[in-house]
Amino acid sequence: MGLTKPVAEDLFTDTPDGPRLIGSKCGKCGTVVFPLSTSCPRCGHDEMADHLLAPRGTLFTFTTQGFLPKEPYTGPETEESFTGFTLGYVEIPGEVMVETRITEADPSRLAIGMEMELVIVAFRTDPDGTEVTTFAFQPRGGES
Protein backbone atom coordinates (compact mmCIF):
# COMPACT_ATOMS: atom_id res chain seq x y z
CA MET A 1 0.00 0.00 0.00
CA GLY A 2 1.32 3.47 -0.89
CA LEU A 3 1.54 6.57 1.22
CA THR A 4 -1.59 8.48 2.19
CA LYS A 5 -2.13 11.92 3.64
CA PRO A 6 -5.19 13.99 4.56
CA VAL A 7 -6.29 16.87 2.35
CA ALA A 8 -5.66 19.16 5.36
CA GLU A 9 -4.00 18.62 8.73
CA ASP A 10 -6.15 18.45 11.88
CA LEU A 11 -9.38 17.93 9.92
CA PHE A 12 -10.06 14.31 10.84
CA THR A 13 -8.43 11.43 12.65
CA ASP A 14 -8.79 7.68 12.92
CA THR A 15 -9.82 6.20 16.26
CA PRO A 16 -10.39 2.60 17.40
CA ASP A 17 -14.10 3.29 16.80
CA GLY A 18 -13.56 4.66 13.29
CA PRO A 19 -12.93 8.08 11.77
CA ARG A 20 -13.86 11.28 13.58
CA LEU A 21 -13.84 14.93 12.56
CA ILE A 22 -11.76 17.24 14.77
CA GLY A 23 -13.64 20.31 15.94
CA SER A 24 -13.28 22.68 18.87
CA LYS A 25 -15.39 23.21 21.97
CA CYS A 26 -15.54 26.47 23.89
CA GLY A 27 -14.48 26.18 27.53
CA LYS A 28 -16.83 29.01 28.54
CA CYS A 29 -20.14 28.51 26.71
CA GLY A 30 -19.76 24.97 25.31
CA THR A 31 -20.25 25.94 21.65
CA VAL A 32 -18.87 23.33 19.25
CA VAL A 33 -17.38 24.38 15.91
CA PHE A 34 -15.87 22.65 12.90
CA PRO A 35 -13.16 22.87 11.74
CA LEU A 36 -10.77 23.76 14.57
CA SER A 37 -10.94 27.31 15.84
CA THR A 38 -8.85 29.36 18.26
CA SER A 39 -11.79 31.46 19.47
CA CYS A 40 -15.50 30.96 20.01
CA PRO A 41 -17.76 32.51 17.37
CA ARG A 42 -20.57 32.75 19.93
CA CYS A 43 -18.96 34.39 22.97
CA GLY A 44 -15.46 35.31 21.76
CA HIS A 45 -13.72 33.21 24.44
CA ASP A 46 -10.24 32.07 23.39
CA GLU A 47 -9.97 28.84 25.37
CA MET A 48 -11.04 26.33 22.77
CA ALA A 49 -10.30 22.62 23.27
CA ASP A 50 -10.04 19.98 20.56
CA HIS A 51 -13.29 18.06 20.35
CA LEU A 52 -13.93 14.86 18.36
CA LEU A 53 -17.33 15.12 16.70
CA ALA A 54 -19.79 12.25 16.74
CA PRO A 55 -19.45 10.15 13.56
CA ARG A 56 -23.18 10.13 12.76
CA GLY A 57 -25.82 12.69 12.01
CA THR A 58 -28.78 13.48 9.80
CA LEU A 59 -28.87 14.99 6.34
CA PHE A 60 -30.12 18.56 6.71
CA THR A 61 -30.02 19.54 3.02
CA PHE A 62 -28.10 18.70 -0.15
CA THR A 63 -27.43 19.71 -3.75
CA THR A 64 -25.40 18.46 -6.68
CA GLN A 65 -22.35 20.21 -8.11
CA GLY A 66 -22.09 19.86 -11.85
CA PHE A 67 -18.92 21.88 -12.43
CA LEU A 68 -15.28 21.13 -11.73
CA PRO A 69 -14.10 22.76 -8.47
CA LYS A 70 -11.21 25.22 -8.48
CA GLU A 71 -7.88 24.75 -6.62
CA PRO A 72 -7.33 23.63 -3.86
CA TYR A 73 -10.56 21.60 -4.03
CA THR A 74 -9.78 19.78 -7.25
CA GLY A 75 -9.68 16.03 -7.45
CA PRO A 76 -8.32 13.77 -10.19
CA GLU A 77 -10.99 14.76 -12.71
CA THR A 78 -10.50 16.91 -15.77
CA GLU A 79 -13.14 19.00 -17.56
CA GLU A 80 -13.66 15.99 -19.84
CA SER A 81 -13.92 13.32 -17.13
CA PHE A 82 -15.81 15.27 -14.45
CA THR A 83 -19.22 13.78 -13.60
CA GLY A 84 -20.32 15.87 -10.63
CA PHE A 85 -20.92 15.04 -6.99
CA THR A 86 -23.29 15.70 -4.13
CA LEU A 87 -22.69 18.24 -1.36
CA GLY A 88 -24.73 18.64 1.76
CA TYR A 89 -25.01 19.68 5.36
CA VAL A 90 -25.08 16.97 8.00
CA GLU A 91 -26.38 17.93 11.42
CA ILE A 92 -24.49 16.24 14.22
CA PRO A 93 -27.00 16.32 17.09
CA GLY A 94 -26.08 18.60 19.96
CA GLU A 95 -22.85 19.63 18.27
CA VAL A 96 -22.65 21.34 14.89
CA MET A 97 -23.71 21.36 11.24
CA VAL A 98 -20.98 20.10 8.87
CA GLU A 99 -20.69 21.05 5.19
CA THR A 100 -19.53 17.89 3.42
CA ARG A 101 -19.31 15.82 0.31
CA ILE A 102 -21.91 13.06 0.20
CA THR A 103 -20.81 9.69 -1.20
CA GLU A 104 -24.16 9.04 -2.89
CA ALA A 105 -24.11 10.76 -6.29
CA ASP A 106 -27.75 10.00 -7.17
CA PRO A 107 -29.94 12.63 -5.47
CA SER A 108 -33.02 10.42 -5.84
CA ARG A 109 -31.43 8.04 -3.30
CA LEU A 110 -31.09 10.78 -0.67
CA ALA A 111 -33.72 12.27 1.63
CA ILE A 112 -33.56 15.16 4.05
CA GLY A 113 -33.53 13.73 7.57
CA MET A 114 -31.88 10.42 6.63
CA GLU A 115 -29.16 9.06 8.89
CA MET A 116 -25.60 9.61 7.69
CA GLU A 117 -22.20 8.37 8.84
CA LEU A 118 -18.67 9.68 8.43
CA VAL A 119 -16.24 7.93 6.08
CA ILE A 120 -12.78 8.75 4.78
CA VAL A 121 -12.50 8.59 0.99
CA ALA A 122 -9.82 8.95 -1.67
CA PHE A 123 -9.75 12.49 -3.04
CA ARG A 124 -6.83 12.53 -5.49
CA THR A 125 -3.36 11.13 -6.06
CA ASP A 126 -0.44 13.55 -5.94
CA PRO A 127 2.24 13.40 -8.66
CA ASP A 128 4.55 11.49 -6.28
CA GLY A 129 1.91 8.74 -5.91
CA THR A 130 0.67 9.79 -2.47
CA GLU A 131 -3.07 9.22 -2.09
CA VAL A 132 -4.81 12.28 -0.63
CA THR A 133 -7.88 11.49 1.48
CA THR A 134 -10.79 13.60 2.66
CA PHE A 135 -13.92 13.11 4.69
CA ALA A 136 -17.43 12.55 3.40
CA PHE A 137 -20.72 11.30 4.76
CA GLN A 138 -22.62 8.32 3.40
CA PRO A 139 -26.14 7.08 4.04
CA ARG A 140 -25.95 5.03 7.22
CA GLY A 141 -25.81 1.29 6.74
CA GLY A 142 -24.32 1.18 3.27
CA GLU A 143 -21.63 2.31 0.93
CA SER A 144 -22.47 4.31 -2.13
pTM listed for this prediction: 0.87
CA distance 84 to 107: 11
Residues 60 and 89 sit within 8 Å (Cβ to Cβ): yes
CA distance 97 to 99: 7
pLDDT at 36 over 90: yes
Confidence at 127, pLDDT banded by 50, 70, 90: confident
Q: What is the pLDDT of residues 73-105, one digit of tens each?
A: 666 677 777 777 899 999 999 999 999 999 998
> Amino acid identity of 75?
G
Residues 36 and 22 sit within 8 Å (Cβ to Cβ): yes
Rounded to a whole number of angstroms, the CA Rg of the chain reads 16
What is 97-116 written as a DSSP string? EEEEEES---GGG--TT-EE
Q: What is the pLDDT of residues 44-61, one digit of tens each?
A: 999 999 999 999 999 999
